[in-house]
Structure 1
Amino acid sequence: MSIYKEIEEKIKSASNIIITAHKSPDGDSIGASLGLLNFIEKLGKNASVCHPDPAPEFLYWLDTSSILFMTEESENITDLFQKADLIFSLDYNATDRVGPEMQVLLEQSEAEKIMIDHHLNPAEFADIMVSETKASSTAELIAELIIESGNEDLLNEQIGIPLYLGIMTDTGGFRFSSVTPRTHEILAKLLKVGVQHHLIHELLNDNNTLSRMRLQGYAMSEKLLVMDDFKVGIIGLAKEELNRFGYQKGDTDGLANQVLSIRGMRVAIVFTERDGMMKISFRSKGEDYVNVLAAEHFDGGGHANASGGRSDLPVEETIQKLMKLVPKYFTK
């Protein structure tokens, strides 16, 4: 029996299913969660989607009303975890990625756990692990689950829209090297069942607020530091700067890609002061890998060309630390 068929059987035999994803959700974690939820419902079962915190505002066009948030419904979610007999862990590979409150519930639960993820170096916390680091996204893996378990006929627009969103956002609009012929085959299947890809692109990309555009303009014009010799661009935004522009979750998403879009730029590092720390996004092209730098110096990691990390230093000290490390990790 294939692993995807085994997962289908687990779904059909479970009574209380929970779908979880990582803290600070993105298009892939939201898309994979809703795609899986809709598939489970097509199998005639019910599930609860429990996330640590809400999605960023630019994803509100997607129907997220079925998602419960730990920040708002902790008692309800605690009760669901206590009753659960099957828990899905989507788009994360270590329990600390769901935040401290949900981490306790996840680790204490006696439910069977299934991890579906595409990040490097997974922790051994799940009973069934689908860890495909070469996959473009977790949403692509959910599509594979549906197809390879023999349920491709269940694919419809409701399942396809969030899965398309997840694949699109985690591949930078299909521009990253993680996109394969199989990725496009899956996208074709989603289009065939009614997904209108152009509307998803419009809803996602033509959804900026004035404050978001002003913040990103300020970041690019006033805060971008370029290390020309190494083709590295760095942006650091302090809490007071974010507040000045009425920052909302997700407002700085895409900044790193804007930096990378500059001719000749090879590495982009963007960090913002949130939750008492600097949250860092590392992006790069080609063989200028950023995951090692993130892991060795910023308590992070991820994909070779797309990683995250953190710093407990103030903005200027974080910038100085990065500037000292860049020559050690990137060539001229």
Structure 2
Amino acid sequence: MNTYKQIEAEILAASNILITAHKSADGDSVGSSLGLLHFIEKLGKKATICHPDKAPDFLDFLDLSHIITMDQEPEKVNTAFQEADLIFCLDYNSTDRVGKDMTPLLESASCTKIMIDHHLDPQDFASITVSDTSASSTAELIVELIELSENGSLLDEKIGTPLYVGILTDTGSFRFNSVKPRTHEVLAILLAGGVKHYMIHEMLNDTNTASRLRLQGFAMSEKMEILDVNSVAIISLTKGELEKYQYKKGDTDSLANLALSIKGMKVAIVLSERDGIIKISFRSKGKVNPVNALAANHFDGGGHANAAGGMCELSMDETLDKMKALVPEYFPVQ
């Protein structure tokens, strides 16, 4: 029995299935969770999604009411873990990625755990592991799970729409080098299942708020520093600056890609002061400019070679100084 058939068998044998994903929800973690939920429900089984925190507002069109979050409803999340006889671990590869409040619940759960993920260096904690770093997204792997199952014909617009969103967002609208021929084959499966890709693009791209656009304009014009010698752009936003522009979760997500679009830029780094720490987003171009090592070695993070995240508990000024000191080491003049 191949791994996907084994996973299907586990789903059909379970009574209370729990779907989890990483802290700081994004399009892939939300999309893969909802797509899998709708598939499981179509199989006639019960499933619950529990995430550490709320998804960004730009994903509201996916109907986020299916997701219970630890930061808002901890009692329900605790109950879901206690009752689960099968836990899916989507879009993360180490238990601490679900946050300090959910990690003990995950690690103490004795039921079967299934990890489906595409990040580097997976931790060995799951009963069944699908770890494919060549995949564009976890959502892509969920499509393959469904397509290769005995019930692949069940894939429809409801299942496919969040999975398309997951692939779209995690590939930067198909611009990253993680996109392979296989990715477009998976997209074709979703379109054949009834997914309206044009509606998804409209819902994602035509929902800007005035405050978000003003924040982006301020960040690009006033808060971006370009280290020309290293082809690195750094944007830093303090708590006060975010509050001035009525920051909402997801408002800064596009800044790294905007900075990276500047001619000649190889790396973009965005620092934002939130939740008492400096959160950091890394993006880069090309095989010679990987950012995951910098994130993992110095900023308690990691991710993909060209897209990673991290954090720092120093002040903004101290974090900036630390980052600038490390840039020549990781992105030397070429």
The answer to whether TM tops 0.5 is yes
Name the aligned partner's letter for residue 111 of structure 1: C
Report the more deviating stretch, 306-315 or 19-28. Answer: 306-315
Query: Deviation at 1:296?
Result: 1.3
- Whole-angstrom distance in 2 between the partners of 1:298 and 1:100: 17
The match for 2:251 is 251
**Which residue identity does 1:161 align to in structure 2?**
T
Q: CA deviation at 1:214?
A: 0.6
- Map 1:235-314 onto structure 2 (within 5 A): 235-287=235-287, 288-314=289-315
* Residue number in structure 1 paired with 2:187: 187
Amino acid across the alignment from 1:8:
E
- Give the letter aligned to residue 331 of structure 1: P
Percent of pairs with identical residues: 64
SS in 2 for 1:226: strand
Give the residue type in structure 1 aligned to 2:321: Q
Match of 1:327 in 2: 328
Deviation of residue 180 (structure 1)? 0.8
Instruction: Identify the residue that residue 87 of structure 1 maps to in structure 2.
Output: 87
State the Cα distance separating 1:95 from its structure 2 match. Answer: 1.0
Residues 125-136 of structure 1: matches in 2 within 5 Å? 125-136=125-136
Matched with 1:64 is 64
Q: Give distance in 2, aligned partners of 1:66 and 1:297.
A: 36
Alpha-carbon separation, structure 2, partners of 1:21 and 1:165: 16
In structure 1, C-alpha distance between the alignment counterparts of 2:290 and 2:53, rounded to whole Å: 30
Segments of 5+ residues of structure 1 without an aligned counterpart are none
Corresponding residue number in structure 2 for 1:23 = 23
What residue in structure 2 maps to residue 213 of structure 1? 213
The answer to which of 313-322 and 254-263 deviates more is 313-322
Partners of 1:69 and 1:309 lie apart in 2 by 22
Task: Note the C-alpha offset of 1:150.
Answer: 3.2
How far apart are 1:331 and its partner, in Å?
Answer: 2.4
Structure 1 residues 204-255: Cα deviation after superposition (integer angstroms, max 9, x where no partner): 0111111111111100000000001111000111111111111111110010
Aligned residue identity for 2:223? K
Q: List aligned pairs for 1:136-155, cutoff 5 A.
A: 136-155=136-155
Separation in 2, partners of 1:308, 1:7: 29
Which residue identity lines up with residue 306 of structure 1 in the other structure?
A
Q: Which amino acid aligns with 2:312?
A: S
Give how far 1:108 is off: 1.1
Q: Does 1:200 align with 2:196?
A: no
| Cα shift at 1:63 | 1.0
**Alpha-carbon deviation of 1:71?**
1.6
Q: What are the equivalent positions in structure 2 for 1:136-175 lying under 5 Å apart?
A: 136-175=136-175
Cα RMSD over matched residues? 0.9
Number of corresponding residues: 332
Do residues 33 (structure 1) and 54 (structure 2) align? no
Q: How far 1:35 sits from its partner (Å)? A: 0.3
* Partners of 1:66 and 1:304 in 2: CA distance: 32
The reply to whether residue 225 of structure 1 matches residue 225 of structure 2 is: yes
For 2:268, give the aligned amino acid. A
| Matched residue type, 1:280 | I
Task: Look up the SS of the partner of 1:173 in the other structure.
Answer: coil
* TM-superposed deviation, 1:100: 1.4
User: Quick one: distance in 1 between partners of 2:4 and 2:242?
Assistant: 43
How far off its partner does 1:56 sit? 0.7
What do residues 188-210 of structure 1 show as CA deviations (whole Å, max 9, x unaligned)? Answer: 11111211101101100111111
- Is the deviation greater in 311-320 or in 1-10? 311-320
Q: Which residue of 2 aligns with 1:316?
A: 317
CA deviation profile, 1:151-186 (whole Å, cap 9, x unmatched): 321110001100000000000001111111111011
Deviation at 1:67, TM superposition (A): 1.0
Give the SS at the match of 1:323.
helix
Moved more, 71-80 or 164-173: 71-80
Q: Distance in 2 between matches of 1:58 and 1:103?
A: 27
Q: What displacement does 1:99 show? A: 1.2
